[in-house]
Amino acid sequence: MNVSISAVREYLVDLQQRITSTVALVDGGQFVVDKWLKPRGERLQGRGITQILEDGAVFERAGCGFSHVRGPALPPSATQHRPELAGAPFEAMGVSLVFHPRNPYVPTVHMNVRMIAAKPAGKEPVCWFGGGMDLTPYYGFEEDCIHFHRTCKNALDPFGIDKYPRFKQWCDEYFYLKHRDEQRGIGGVFYDDFSELGFDGSFAMTTSVGDAFLDAYLPIVDRRKNTPYGERERSFQLYRRGRYVEFNLVWDRGTHFGLQSGGRTESILLSMPPLVSWAYGRKTRKGAPEDELYRKFLVRREWV
C-alpha cells in the first residue's frame, strides 16, 4: 500500500506543476511557489506546495495547491458517509485549484483530485478517491458549456458509461446553494468516497479527470479573454463572486475538512477571490444578459 500511495503523490505533484506552468504561459505572469511544513506536535502534520498567481493579465487570482497530510482522527466532514471509520488515523493528499479570471466573460473554474487513506487499528487501510471539476460563468455561452461537459464525459467514459451521468448529477446536487435555492454554476462532474473500481482502477479514473482539466478549460479562456467589457459586467462579476464565497464557506466539504482537521488556513482559503461584493436585494432586468445567466445557465440541464 505504501508503494501505491507514493504513486498517487508522484502523480499529484506532477499534475500541479503541469497545470501551473501551462497557465503561467497563458497569463504571462508567474506563480509564487510556497512550500510549507506542518511539523510533528501539531494536530495535523504534513507538507505541501501552494502555488499562487495574483494580479495577472488573464487571471486576477489563480491558486493551485498540493497537500499531503496525516492526522490522528478523521474529522466529521470525512466520515459522514463512513461512520465505521470515525476517529481512525488518516492520510490525505490532493491537488485543488480555483482560477478567478479578470475578464467577466471568462468563467471561474474549480478542480480537485484527492485520495484519503483511513488506517483503523488492527485493520488494513481503507482508501478512497474523490474529485471533479466545475465551471462558474458570469455570462453564459452554450458552446463553452458543451465543450466543458463533453471533455468531462470523454475523460470518464473509458471507466464506464454510467460515470458521467452519475457524477454530473452529483455535481449539480453538490454545488448548490441551499440557502439561495440556486446553482453555483453550470456544474461539471463530482464524486467522493469512490473505491468501486479497486485502488488501481479508481486511481486511473482520477488521473483521467485531472489530466482532462487543461483541455476542458483553456479553450474557453482563449475564446473569451479578449472580449471587451465595462463597469456593468465587472460589477456583476464581483456580485456573483459573492455566491462563490458563500458556497465555499458554508457548504464545501473540502473547506470544512481542511479547517476541522487543523490544516493550513492560508492554503485552504486560496479559493477566495481577491475582490468581491454583495448587494442587498439586487435584481436583474428581464431580458438582460445577466438575467439570461439565471434563466439558461444556473439551472440543471443536460449539456451533452
Q: Which three cell numbers stand for residue 186?
A: 453550470
Q: How many CB atoms are located within 10 Å of the residue 41 CB?
A: 6
3-state helix, strand, coil in the chain (%, to 5): 45, 25, 30
DSSP state at residue 119: -
Residue with cell 465551471: 135
Residue listed under C-alpha cell 458563500:
246
Q: Which three cell numbers stand for residue 48?
A: 505541501
- For residue 14, what are the contacts with CB-CB under 8 A and spacing of at least 6? none
DSSP state of 138: S
> Which cell numbers in the block locate residue 107?
468563467
> Active-site residue among 110, 147, 149, 256?
110
Q: Specify whether 110 is catalytic.
A: yes
Rounded to whole angstroms, the Cα distance separating 5 from 2 reads 5
Contact 205, 163 (CB under 8 A): yes
Q: What angle do CA 153, 244, 268 make, to 5 degrees?
A: 90
Rounded Cα–Cα distance for residues 203 and 191 (Å) = 13
The Cα–Cα gap between 107 and 15 comes to 22
- Note the Cα 166 to chain centre separation in Å: 18
Beta carbons of 129 and 203 less than 8 angstroms apart: yes
Please give the positions annotated as active site: 110
